[in-house]
Amino acid sequence: MYLHPMFQLTKYSLRPSRFVAFVLFLATFAPPLTAQEDSSVKQQSPSDTHFPVATVFQSGDNGYMVFRIPAVIRTAGDGLLAFCEARQGGDASEIDLVMKRSTDGGRSWGALIVVQESSDFREYFSGDVPAITIGNPAPVVDLLDPDHPGRIWLPFTLENDRVFVIFSDDDGATWSPRREITKDVKKEAWGWYATGPVHSIQIQHGPHRGRLVIPTDHRLGEDGKDGGDLGAHLILSDDHGKSWRLGAVDDTYKDGIGANETTVVELPDGTLYINTRNQAGEAPESRGESFSRDGGESFQSGRPQWKAFRPAPAILDPPVVQCSLLNVADKMIVFSGPDQNGPSGKGRSDLRFRYSMDQAESWIDGPLIHTGPAAYSDLVLIDDDTVGVVFENGDASGKNAYQRISFARVKVTQ
């Protein structure tokens, strides 16, 4: 992949000569938190990029076969919460929704906490109860709720069909009873349904300031069945989570872009930039993009030949996979995802940052964070100078991108 000349390779970082620098913090790792083995504080060996990272979830730990689908937020108390699916198998296996906490900016992570246990949802089934799947975390922190500042909302799904929300008012220490919102946010014709999986946002500027925006996707067909035409949509709340409703809906199912897992970021003027996985679409690029200038009520491609989403620039070149966005500064947006043209070759590998300095109109290659198998990821602003990325990955010598979920700290200098 082409590397922009702004980045100059040093032993441990890629530094630009102007505008912005990415420098990976070389974290120190604490000893185990308890006598029980906890992989969250093990140091992962440096990859070929010389970027060591902290392991958050390790496959096989805590009685789970594999951990997948990460999302991360910074709480109002400046802690980090990393969520994921704790699986006993594949996408349709028994899956719990779990999390871990970091109080040192992602250098180390605490014990695993089960946020939603699949067995607690048996009441929603009659007859033979299947292996219950809970997942697709899409957390967001509501910093503008006058009554509950810092409330954390966590939308998620049951069987990729029904939609629930819970909240926490104590930085994730405890959670409210679950509340189902399926009838408010899912159309009758939709079957498969997924919130996120990625962090959600709260609009900070303009007439829709305070609105919660949950990036979401659906498929036409039978409830929970992963088949049929694909579309993205947004879930909105204007009353700090008291009610939820549908906002923008991509129903251009035959337009060549199979909008799927979606991520959203707010631009300085309050416009939303939305980037989506192009799943089995005919458009040549693996990503689609759109804008919303009405706070998430509608998608606008900005191109007359495309209604909702248009093909994203070719430099955003992951394979077909979930990716993430983060607004780091007024003029800077970071995109995280595997690099289809990275050193490991095609497929889910080589996690790389790309960044935009012009409101997502153009993109530049950033640093390679991990060499080797890599898949889903999410981004978080740890502080004004540091970006964190949580990502699925495996050993560079292998082909398994789901051996662990790791966390890297990346320094940003204006």
pLDDT of residue 282: 74
pLDDT of residue 200: 98
For residue 1, is it within any domain? no
List Cβ neighbours of 202 (8 Å cut-off, separation of 6 or more).
140, 141, 142, 143, 144, 210, 211, 212, 213
Q: Range of 395's domain?
A: 7-413
The segments of the chain whose pLDDT lies below 50 read 1-47, 414
Residue 369 to residue 389: CA distance in whole angstroms: 9
Q: Which residue has the tokens 């979830």?
A: 57
List Cβ neighbours of 306 (8 Å cut-off, separation of 6 or more).
255, 257
For residue 369, is it within any domain? yes
Q: Which residue has the tokens 């108390």?
A: 77
Domain count, the chain: 1
pLDDT of residue 225: 77
For residue 254, is it within any domain? yes
For residue 274, is it within any domain? yes
For residue 2, is it within any domain? no
pLDDT of residue 41: 41
For residue 96, is it within any domain? yes
pLDDT of residue 331: 82
For residue 152, is it within any domain? yes
Task: Please give the full DSSP string across 73-141, using - where no structure is assigned.
Answer: EE-TTS-EEEEEEEESSSTTS-EEEEEEEESSTTSS----EEEE-GGGGGGG--SS----BEE----EE
Residue 291 to residue 310: CA distance in whole angstroms: 10
CATH of the domain at 119: 2.120.10.10
Render pLDDT for 42-91 as a digit per residue (tens, 0 to 9): 444 444 556 558 999 999 999 999 999 999 999 999 999 999 999 999 99
User: pTM surpassing 0.85?
Assistant: yes
pLDDT of residue 14: 38
Q: What percent of the chain has pLDDT over 90?
A: 77
For residue 390, is it within any domain? yes
Contact between 223 and 186 under an 8 Å Cβ cutoff? The reply is: no
3-class DSSP assignment, residue 51: coil
pLDDT of residue 51: 58
